[in-house]
A = this chain, B = another copy of it.
Amino acid sequence: MKVTIKDIAKEANVSITTVSLIINDKGQRFSEETHARVKTAIAKLDYQPHYFAKNLNKTKSNTIGFIVSEITNPFFAELAKVIEDVLVEQGYLVLLCNSSSDREREERYVDEMLYRFVDGVFLAGTVSDNAHLLEKLKKRKVPYILLDRPSEYSQTNGIFIDDFAGGVEATNYLITHQHQAIGCITANEHFSNIHQRAQGYLAAMASQGNTPVVEIADEVNEYSGYQLAGKLLDKGVSAIFACSDIMAFGVYKAAAERGFKIPEDLSVIGFDDINLTHFMLPPLTTITQPTKAIGEHAARQMLEMIETGNLVVPNTVLDIALKTRSSVIVKQS
C-alpha cells in the first residue's frame, strides 16, 4: 500500500492537518519539535504526496505542454531542449508531443493537455489556422505561447523573428554576389513563417527587376528540398535560397547529383542555422535564428504568465543575422 499522509500523522503522533501544513511550508506556527517529528516520519516511511489527491481541488499540475510540429527537424529539437532546460530548472515537467503537422493530432494534444491540467502550452510550428486551439486554451484560461509560426488568429503571445526581413536579407546577399537567376525553395502557406521568407525573397527580387523562380513544398524536410532543388537546377539558376536549413541538405544532394559544385557552380543560402550547418560541405551560409534566446525568452514569459495569472503578453520579434560561411560566392561568369 502506498504511504499516505495519514500514516505520517500516526507515526509522528500529530494530526493530518499538521502534516499537511508542514509539508507545504505553511507550518511556521508549529514547534520545532513537531516539525522534526513529522520530517522524521516522512523520511522513515518514504512518503510521497499523491499527485491526484493533491491536485484534486487545485488547478495546477506543474506540467507544461509543448506541441511541436516535427521533432525530427533539428531546429525544433534544439528549441524544445532549451525550453525544457529552463523549465525543469524551475520545477516543471515538460510534456513534449510531436504532431507531425497534423491538425487532428494538434487538437487531440491540446485536449489531452487541458484534461491533464497543464499550467501552460507552447505551440511550436503548428498550423497557422489554429483559432480553435487557441480558443480552447483561452476558455480554460491556460497561458500559451506561439513559437516559430504566427497565428492568423492571435496578435499576442508569440515569439518570432522577422521572416520577411530574413528572406530579403538572404536574397540581397545573393544579389550582391552578382546572382540574378536565383531560385527559392519554400513551403505552402500553411507554413506561414516559411512562406513569409519567400515573400521577402519575392520583394527583393522585384526591387531588382529579377525574375523570381519559386518552388513550393508541402512538407519541410530534406526530401522536399531535394525534389524542388532538382526542378530549380533544371531551370538553370545560379543560386538557391532554401527557406529552411533542413531543405538545404536536399539542395546539396541535388546539386551533387548533377555535377554542380557548391559554391563554384551554385551558391546556396539557408535559414535557421541549425547545428548541422557547420558540418555541411561546404558549411552553409544561412540566416541565424537566435534559438537559445528564443527558447529562454519563451520560457521566461511562460513562467511569468503562470505566476501572475496574466494570459496576454505582447508579441516579441527577435533579431536575426546573416551567418556567412562558405556556400555563397560571387557568380562565376
Interface residues of A (CB under 8 A from B): 48-49, 51-53, 55-56, 63, 71-72, 74, 77-78, 80-81, 84-85, 88, 93-98, 100, 105, 108-109, 112, 115-117, 222, 226, 249-250, 252-253, 256, 275-276, 278-279, 281-282
The CA of A51 and the CA of B252, in the complex, are separated in Å by: 49
Check B281 against A281 for contact (C-beta < 8 Å). Answer: yes
B63, B88, B98: the one within 8 Å of A105 (CB): B88
| Residues of B contacting A105 in the complex (Cβ-Cβ under 8 angstroms) | 88
The CA of A93 and the CA of B250, in the complex, are separated in Å by: 33
The CA of A116 and the CA of B51, in the complex, are separated in Å by: 6
* A73 to B, closest residue via Cβ: B77
The CA of A48 and the CA of B116, in the complex, are separated in Å by: 11
- 22 intermolecular pairs with C-beta atoms under 8 Å apart: A48-B115, A51-B117, A52-B55, A71-B77, A71-B96, A72-B78, A74-B74, A77-B77, A80-B98, A81-B98, A85-B100, A93-B95, A93-B97, A94-B97, A95-B95, A96-B97, A249-B276, A249-B279, A250-B279, A256-B281, A256-B282, A281-B281
Check A81 against B72 for contact (C-beta < 8 Å). Answer: yes
A101 → B minimal CB distance (Å): 12
| Residues of B contacting A52 in the complex (Cβ-Cβ under 8 angstroms) | 51-53, 55-56, 117
